[in-house]
Structure 1
Amino acid sequence: MADIGRALELGGTAARDALTALWDRVGDTGDALHRCTIAHHLADLQETVAEELRWDRHALAAVADLGDDRLQRHHAGLRVRALLPSLHLNLADGYRRAGDVERARHHVAVAAPLAAELPDDGYGSMIRDAITRVAGLLDSGSREPLVVP
């Protein structure tokens, strides 16, 4: 996780290159927390929606292999279920921007009730608000990027 943090500090293309190297080291079957975290951040550093979606799918697939016990060794009290709203939100937004409305709506429908379980704090509010905004953008047919405050 420290290597991931150092890679993110590089920013931009350097961060993407460093995270890609970490992904290559961890591999498709490495530690699920590392795979989920790397893929989640790599998605945000891609130049195309298609590549972003590819990494968002990797992140969601990795979280399926992640248990609460492993996650809590990294961050006490955190549960896997708390990661799911953000992962589904990212997929919903990516599919929306790619023009795949059906898949986008599916991920909004999955994310919304999961986000309702998040704490009433800044993070929970941000995720719930973003889900609402993605749903509205879907309704309007917009494929413009979601701007998160």
Structure 2
Amino acid sequence: MEFSPFNNVVKYCLQGMDMEEKGESEEAGKLFLQGWDEATSAFEKFLAAHYVARHQKTVSDQLKWLETALEYALKINDDSVKSAFPALYLNIAKCYETLGDIEKSRKHANLATLFKDNPSDKGPFYHGTKADLQVGDLLTAGGNSNYQSDLKMNHIYFTAMVNGAGLAAALAKGDERERVYIVEPTGNFENDPNVTDKKFPGNPTRSYRSQEPLKIVGEVTEWIGPTPENLQKFREKLANNKGEIIN
């Protein structure tokens, strides 16, 4: 399963989040329910149920939708969903605690802790850029951010989704050809906190970062890049983003 912002259910969730930011909770809830009604895959149902849960008026109804989200998440053997388990189990634990079921609350809190380890993703991993590099070269932290030019990055970023790396290459500064390299982490890495649980549950874009170098082991020559229209939308969104980068 590859997460895509152009998936119809994902679009409903994005629109719902926009409504939330505008304070239009009722309209947001309708959009999330529409996403649920049109969801066909386990991932789409997991995603929509997660957002529907946020708009329930009672704790018991919220718990029902969270457990529905968990039911579908457990059917998906994919690292893009596994990263959502800690927050999902923790939210379920809080519901059980509020409802007075301490045993079930403790059980789900323990599961949240169990899943909160290093990412289990085995790759392959990709890094998108406009730099002309060679197999064997090392990508290291300390470069300027593509999104805040005056910010030196303490980590090097990569993804397990080739099209995501292609988008990063398209957004990268410079006039050179867009390149997507196959990379191997040389040390520990973590979920990118700038995206994990920020809007979507977990880390569906399978975005990671490391303070240790990435070794280039190959190059991808074919991927699905964004259309010029979608690329412009991404650039406008980044230009208008006032959030702080977790560095």
Query: Which residue pairs with 2:216 in the alignment?
Result: none
CA distance in 2, matches of 1:59, 1:4: 14
Q: CA deviation at 1:94?
A: 0.9
Q: Per the alignment, do residues 79 and 21 of structure 1 end up closer, same or farther by CA in structure 2, a change over 3 Å counting?
A: closer
1:88 aligns with 89
Which of 35, 39, 45 is residue 35 of structure 1 equivalent to? 45
**In 2, distance between residues paired with 1:5 and 1:52?**
20
Normalized per residue, which structure has more strand? 2
2:13/2:51 contact within 8 Å kept? no
* Residues 1:2 and 2:11 are matched in the alignment: yes
Aligned to 2:75: 65
C-alpha distance in 2 between matches for 1:96 and 1:121 = 30
- Displacement after TM superposition at 1:48 (Å): 0.7
Structure 1 residues 9 and 91 mapped into 2: Cα distance closer, same or farther (>3 Å)? same
Identity across the alignment (%)? 26
For 2:32 and 2:192, how far apart are their aligned partners in 1? 29
| Alpha-carbon distance between aligned partners in 1 of 2:74 and 2:53, rounded to the nearest angstrom | 17
TM-score between the two structures when normalised by the length of structure 1: 0.67
**Which of structures 1 and 2 has the bigger CA Rg?**
2
Q: Residue 44 of structure 1 is aligned with which of 54, 58, 74?
A: 54
Task: Return the TM-score normalized by structure 2.
Answer: 0.42
1:1-149 matches, cutoff 5 A: 1-11=10-20, 12-26=25-39, 30-68=40-78, 78-117=79-118, 119=190, 122=193
Unaligned runs of 5+ residues in structure 1 are 69-77, 127-149
Q: Which runs of 5+ in 2 are unaligned?
A: 1-9, 120-189, 198-247
Which structure shows the bigger proportion of residues in helix conformation? 1
The match for 1:75 is none
